[in-house]
């Protein structure tokens, strides 16, 4: 029997002005490695493949060919970490490698930092919380506070939101909606 249809977002690609600057940023901040490089067969420009996982050939593709005056069309590239200290480390590395417009946001369901990479693409680094609140939601985040203060403030804020629930309850509701929509599909 075939497994049920499931599509998971696996990787993304962005056009770049300077591949080496962008490669240095993403490998330096996120410990990614170049896995391959070459000229595209259907895209006639240089392509650099990056991954931070041994089980995934590429998670990020950097492609040459972005014009000098072409604005970014990237809404955001998001990287997930496991601890608040990892957020602090990502902030430190990103700033050292040319990130600008660094800011912290507490979404209630996630704690995030945002910055602009060297070519003005928005980058998010985040970790999940055990809570759900409807989105968009964004309170200031001060990573210079200790972890306990950040967690306590987050919980205080989300518990006052009318949409608050434990993320496990949200996940169960999501699973029920998914099952119902699959049953209703022709």
- Cα separation, 76 vs 152, in Å, equals 28
**Residue-range definition of the domain harbouring residue 110:** 71-179
Question: 161 near 155, Cβ under 8 Å?
Answer: no
Per the structure, the count of domains in the chain is: 2
Residue 119 shares a structural domain with residue 159: yes
Give pLDDT, residue 183. 79
Residue 63 shares a structural domain with residue 97: no
Is 70 exceeded by the pLDDT of residue 119? yes
- Give the end of a domain, one of 70, 87, 115: 70
125-166 pLDDT per residue, tens: 999 999 999 999 999 999 999 999 999 999 999 999 999 999
**Total H helices, total E strands in the chain:** 4, 11
The model's pTM is 0.88
Which CATH number characterizes residue 156's domain?
3.10.180
Give pLDDT, residue 186. 67
Output DSSP code: residue 157: H
Mean pLDDT score of the chain: 92
């Amino acid at each position: 029997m075939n497994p049920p249809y499931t599509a998971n977002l696996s990787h993304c690609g962005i056009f770049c002005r300077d591949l080496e600057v962008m490669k240095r940023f993403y490998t330096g901040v996120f410990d990614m490695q170049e896995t391959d490089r070459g000229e595209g067969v259907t895209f006639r420009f240089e392509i650099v493949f990056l991954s931070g996982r041994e089980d995934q050939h590429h998670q990020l593709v950097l492609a040459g060919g972005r014009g000098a005056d072409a604005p970014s069309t990237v809404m955001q590239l998001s990287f997930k970490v496991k601890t608040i200290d990892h957020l602090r480390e990502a902030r430190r590395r990103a700033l050292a490698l040319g990130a600008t417009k660094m800011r912290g946001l507490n979404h209630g369901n996630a704690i995030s930092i945002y910055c602009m990479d060297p070519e003005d693409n928005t980058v998010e680094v985040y970790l999940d919380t055990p809570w759900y609140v409807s989105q968009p939601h964004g309170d200031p985040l001060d990573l210079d506070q200790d972890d306990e203060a950040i967690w306590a403030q987050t919980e205080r804020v989300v518990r006052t939101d009318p949409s608050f629930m434990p993320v496990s309850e949200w996940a169960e509701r999501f699973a029920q909606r998914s099952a119902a929509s699959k049953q209703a599909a022709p």
